[in-house]
Structure 1
Amino acid sequence: MTTALVVMFIAGLITGFSKFSVGGMGLLVLPIVMIAFPGPESLGVLLPLYIITDVMAVYSYRKHISWPVLARFLPLGFLGVFVGAQLLSGINADQFVALLGGIIIAMIALGLYLDARPATFMQKPITAYSMGFAGGLVSMIANAAGPLFSLFLLEQKLSKDSYVSTRAWGFFIINLVKLPMYLSLGLLTQESLTISAYAIPGLLVGAVIGYHFLKHVKPVHFKWLIRIMSTIAAMKLMLFS
């Protein structure tokens, strides 16, 4: 129980910090939670935290939403969530751990690629919209679809305010759609909700720290630390689980 309390406090701390500061730390949260809950049930433990922070975000960014952009992304995103649910229902804990590690490495590689060169391949509509499907799939399996959704939105030529608002609402809607899927898979239970509650103090502390941190530090200076830590976590999942 002590391990679960510490792990969930740290998970809440990172989640709150990420949502209100640099972002991109979702790749790190799930491997940390898996220290105490080493299997797909870790997804159900984390989902309520993401929905809590999503509610904060959509309230803060309730204007400038580009609904036409979401209308192009979300249908394929819903399909990705459904396919991800089918995939989760057919794998065991060891397979899940290996799959998660592979997804984290792929998301880090995508981020490095986008830093090095522009995403010209996104100029093709079918490629751009496929990000919706991939985003829903990765969100369902690993809660790590941020890079894919951001890639899609960046190619829509939105203003800064519209980008932030549309991104916040997209994640909120996708996470709500995941709720019944996690319930049907038995990943979201009364027990998992109790465990999720352990993270709320850390969530609030992380949000406050992140809000003030963002005022003094440029996000780019923090990006490589996140990538290195996420890579170490992914390698541990794939090689030492």
Structure 2
Amino acid sequence: MAVAALVIGYSKTALGGLAVVAVAIFATILPARQSTAAILAVLIVGDLVAVWHYRRDADWAIVRRLLPAVLPGLALGSVFLGLVDDSTLRRSIGGILLALVLLQLWVKWRAGEQSSSLHERPAAAWAAGTGAGFATMTANAAGAVMTLYLSASGIDKRRFVGTNAWFFLIVNLVKVPFSVGLGLMHWRDVGRAGLLAPAVLVGGLLGYATVRRMSQRGFDVAVLVASAVAAAALLI
């Protein structure tokens, strides 16, 4: 769990998609349904660390564009948690993420260095927001969805990570009542997150240092690779 917490801290301040690797680690230690609430508490600690580092770097226009679509995704995810087998659902999300990575690579190859305005369309924002809400409620895997959307927006690396940080702090706090209502989150999860907080902090410092030293081009490539790793972790 300490290793997973380190990965969460690093992903929150550097490469968001990698958080799903930590999700996979938690799912091997705890029962699948119990692990979703256990890791949610740790993710919130990571969100707080990331927001502290990037508190002035969020693109609030993107956050406002996505947030209205998250609630329907959370509701759909809550329903699916009660209806669908955990393993099947996790692998389905992994397959979707892998398809999105390939689509993003194709779009970038076709467009060269030019950025697309597709992400500004309401339909794209609603699809990304609902997909993020659904993926985060069912498998804590929305980091890769958000990474692909932000990658398509073409924003610089600090605004990328800052926007991601604020978006997920809000979304994960909204998820808490859903998790409590489903009987998944308990006080022991909060206590465990407190014990793992130092590992999250160390990971966050490492991620922040990585982003500062990484070129924009290298960052763009790294976020796509992290999304691919996230998809693979869910498929395994």
TM-score range relative to shorter protein: 0.7 to 0.9
Partner of 1:115: 105
Paired with 2:128 and 2:122, the residues of 1 have a C-alpha distance of: 10
Q: How does 1:160-171 map to 2 (within 5 A)?
A: 161-171=158-168
Structure 1 residue 148 corresponds to structure 2 residue 149? no
2:35 aligned to which of 37, 42, 56: 42
Given candidates 39, 47, 70, the residue that maps to 1:77 is 70
Residue 21 of structure 1 is matched in structure 2 by 14
Distance 1:208 1:26, change over 3 A: same
1:115-194 alignment to 2 at 5 Å? 115-118=105-108, 122=119, 124-154=121-151, 161-194=158-191
Q: CA shift at 1:123, angstroms?
A: 6.6
Counterpart amino acid of residue 78 in structure 1: L
Please state how far the C-alpha of 1:99 moved relative to its aligned partner. 0.7
Is 1:103 the counterpart of 2:96? The answer is no
Q: Which runs of 5+ in 1 are unaligned?
A: 1-7, 237-241
Specify the code of the residue in structure 2 equivalent to 1:109: A
Superposed CA offset, 1:81-120 (max 9, x none): 12211221334xxx11221122123213312321232478
8 Å contact from structure 1 (residues 9, 198) kept in 2: no
User: Secondary structure at 2:56's aligned position in 1?
Assistant: coil
Identity of aligned residues (%): 29
User: Counterpart of 2:112?
Assistant: none
Q: Within 5 A, what are the aligned runs for 1:217-236?
A: 218-219=218-219, 220=221, 224=225, 227-228=228-229, 231=232, 233-236=233-236
C-alpha deviation, 1:74, in angstroms? 0.7
User: Alpha-carbon deviation of 1:158?
Assistant: 5.1
| Partners of 1:107 and 1:44 in 2: CA distance | 22
Can you list the C-alpha shifts for 1:54-85, whole angstroms capped at 9, x where unaligned? Answer: 12222333335444433331111112112211
Bigger fraction of residues in helix: 2
TM-score (norm 2): 0.80
- 2:210 & 2:125 partners in 1: Cα distance? 33
SS of residue paired to 1:187: coil
Question: What's the TM-score, normalizing by structure 1?
Answer: 0.78
SS in 1 for 2:29: coil
> 1:57, 1:168 within 8 Å by CA — same for their partners in 2?
yes
Inter-partner Cα distance in structure 1 for 2:25 and 2:141: 14
Deviations 1:108-154 (A, max 9, x none): 33123212324786575323322111111111111111232244445
1:5 match: none
CA RMSD in angstroms comes to 2.9
Residue aligning to 1:4:
none
Q: 1:192 to 1:74 in 2, by over 3 A?
A: same
Shift of 1:177: 0.6
Assess if the C-alpha contact under 8 Å between 1:27 and 1:104 holds in 2. Answer: no
CA distance in 1: counterparts of 2:150 and 2:230, whole angstroms: 26
Q: Structure 1 68/33 Cα, relative in aligned 2: closer, same or farther at 3 Å?
A: same
Structure 2: gaps of 5 or more residues: 109-115
The answer to whether the Cα contact below 8 Å between 1:11 and 1:199 also exists between their aligned partners in 2 is no
